[in-house]
Structure 1
């Protein structure tokens, strides 16, 4: 499909006397002011912008360009990722409330971007930060209930753009600007997680790179940890254990894991899941031991980000131990961790509860306990199975394994009839 030239950027450059090379130099200098490291653009980079081959520059470059021009990127003809309207089938599956929320977020971005350049300057302050943090808390809650939905991914990405647009709406202290970049990084990391959870791995990689750049601008160690830890999870779900371990090592080596053992607990637990995928039982046991020790040392009274909730009471540690032992084929240990995770998970964490119940069914089937396994799998509400891509896949794999393990069993026949009548119709 032919690309559309960026006429708005070309017009601005002509009006202000910029060539492709001179604009690249100016943006490189602005990147240096923002990050401490001069950018690497050249004239061909700007020509790609003008030709429409690059429709949405990376975060640091985009912020620097906005600083040079004094205009938001959308006013320069750039188009944010994920702004294309959903196709009719995808839209019909989304909760109308979530669609309205996404539309509201997108409208907010457009309103800030379209503000007249001559409008009275405003001061960006703590109330703006509190509003963004509240939206982030809502995204986390939505993920716990719905997980993996395209609407959540798009809403989080739109809120990241809203946070960046806020940077251009007025003056602010350096501390407040860092907080705003931190909010943008947090939203982009949630978009990344929603894409991972929905098995949209290519999109997750795009969000990951954006989030990493924003986290550098924010210099926020907690959000850096979240992004690199999610990167490890992304590679693990893609079946790439070496890269998963390497990414998770970056998270585990951040200073925040030494200051707060709760972060160290999560880092070790996620590393255990990576070692499970790599088939290393000794490393799994060692990592889980480190995670348990860290959890016991952690101060439960410290305030932490909303996304750390399941780590505090040990639910996430049990969940990741379950994943690790399932990967190793150690089904008795996996079942034990599954029961403990389900006892600890908060009721609102519907996606995690359904996923761990499906994993429990796998662990029971692995021990040839067919009747309990089928009963466990059938206990997951069909609507929940249909709504969460990872749950859908895990239950589908359960049916395949059940057919292999007991092809002539009446329980297998009962499961197949149930799946056809209830699960896949709901999907």
Structure 2
């Protein structure tokens, strides 16, 4: 007796627990025979352990419908019947009839099974890989129209995938990917200045994140909605979105997300001239990030870290009228932001240029802004960075 590794792999691929598979198979048997099946999680464990190597016929039919493959591909081995030497040979006609009906069954099952494609974890992982590639482009090049269209195409692929049969676990994971695609489209529109579309995509992301039930995705959606509100000049609405995200279980469980949300909230408090609240939020962001463990997180979160937190700190101090502290934070940002994140380095460079300008170091500030201008020329659509450069030129005059 050996463990059925093929069946175990099929369960992982489709996201089934043992109880979920038993319930799905019982439901298939009920639809076919009018009687609910008698399988339980104990039955599935017997299959997995190899104690039962060949299920009953009705169970085999249900397995083929659920997994869309022969039961032999699931690691089951037909029993070998012992033939008595004294048993009479079966008539030719009977053997022919049995062979013919078996052939009909083998042909009919795939045709009925093909009516409903089963989506598994491998489909969700494939969509996540596409999302990660888009987020990598966004982190290095910033948002642009082609990236927006690619993100919309990814979200549509998720919706198409969800029209097929899948377990609740797989569906939740694909909803999470769809929400993150919508967020990626929103951030592209923020960079290109299309705030109307950015708002629509942000709300779509929020809806899909709710359907996913995934805490990290919900944090991403609230953060997107918050930043759209900032760009629309509504810090109060942005702060409300961030506070909603901070009450989530994910933000309470993982200090990394709490740090991101506190740092963003500090910017909103600074815009509202709430100095003490802004500084308190910065302190919480730094403390939370220091407690955050290094572990795998969704691709949308890869651009946040000490460098981005220092950039937001510089933004807060500039808004509060403390350019010396802003310069200190901007220098720290530029020493910690990875070179590949060109857009983020451009933002940090402009924070440094503004801090130098507000301290009367005009020539040094102009040289720093020139570095940011060089970065902007490398980006496909440096919308936000160009806006910062225009504001700098106006302030320098």
TM-score by length of 1: 0.64
2:340 alignment partner in structure 1: 348
Give distance in 2, aligned partners of 1:345 and 1:254: 28
Spell out, residue by residue over 1:225-271, the C-alpha distance to the aligned partner (whole angstroms, 9 max, x if none). 01111211111122211111111111111111111111111111111
1:297 aligns with 2:295: no
Shift of 1:280: 1.5
Distance across 1 between alignment mates of 2:304 and 2:324? 23
Q: After superposition, where does 1:7-46 map in structure 2 within 5 Å?
A: none
In the TM superposition, 1:50-61 aligns within 5 A as none
1:316 to partner: Cα distance: 1.9
Bigger Rg, which one: 2
Distance 1:206 1:249 in 2: 21
1:119-134 alignment runs, 5 A limit: 120-134=115-129
2:65 corresponding residue in structure 1: none
Cα pair 1:188 1:211 within 8 Å, conserved: yes
- The match for 1:320 among 295, 301, 312 is 312
Gaps of 5+ in 1: 1-116, 404-427
C-alpha separation in 2, matches of 1:177 and 1:385 = 36
CA distance in 2, matches of 1:199, 1:336: 29
Partner of 2:301: 308
The residue aligned with 1:251 is 245
* In 2: Cα distance, 1:387 partner to 1:337 partner: 26
CA drift of 1:198 comes to 2.0
How far off is 1:273 after superposition?
0.9
Greater relative contact order (Cα 8 A, min sep 6): structure 1 or 2? Answer: 2
Shift of 1:278: 1.1
User: TM-score, normalization: structure 2?
Assistant: 0.69
CA contact (8 A) 1:239 1:277 kept: no
Structure 2 counterpart SS, 1:397: helix
Counterpart Cα distance in 2 of 1:135 and 1:271:
30
Counterpart of 2:160 (choices 165, 170, 183) is 165
CA displacement at 1:274 relative to structure 2 = 0.9
Q: For 1:386 and 1:377, how far apart are their aligned partners in 2?
A: 19
CA contact (8 A) 2:142 2:380 kept: no
Matches within 5 A, 1:54-73: none
**How many Å separate the matches in 1 of 2:385 and 2:144?**
12
Q: Where has structure 1 moved over 4 Å in runs of 4 or more?
A: 117-120
Which of 253, 264, 267 aligns to 2:261? It is 267
Equivalent residue in structure 2 for 1:144, among 139, 144, 147: 139
What is residue 8 of structure 2 aligned with on the other side? none
CA distance in 2, matches of 1:388, 1:324: 22
1:14-52 per-residue CA deviation (whole Å, 9 max, x = no partner) reads: xxxxxxxxxxxxxxxxxxxxxxxxxxxxxxxxxxxxxxx
| Maintained 8 Å contact 1:236/1:277 | no
**Residues 393-425 of structure 1 deviation map (CA, whole Å, 9 limit, x = unaligned):** 00011111111xxxxxxxxxxxxxxxxxxxxxx
* Matching of residues 274-293 of structure 1 within 5 Å: 274-293=268-287
In the alignment, the residues of structure 2 paired with residue 145 and residue 236 of structure 1 have an alpha-carbon distance, to the nearest angstrom, of: 22
Structure 2: gaps of 5 or more residues: 1-111
Q: Is the 8 A contact 2:223 2:242 kept in 1?
A: yes
**Superposed CA offset, 1:325-348 (max 9, x none):** 222222111111111111111111
**153, 156, 173: which is aligned to 2:148?**
153
User: Is 2:330 aligned against 1:335?
Assistant: no
Counterpart residue number, 2:394: 400
- The alpha carbon displacement at 1:148 in A equals 2.4
CA distance in 2: counterparts of 1:287 and 1:303, whole angstroms: 25
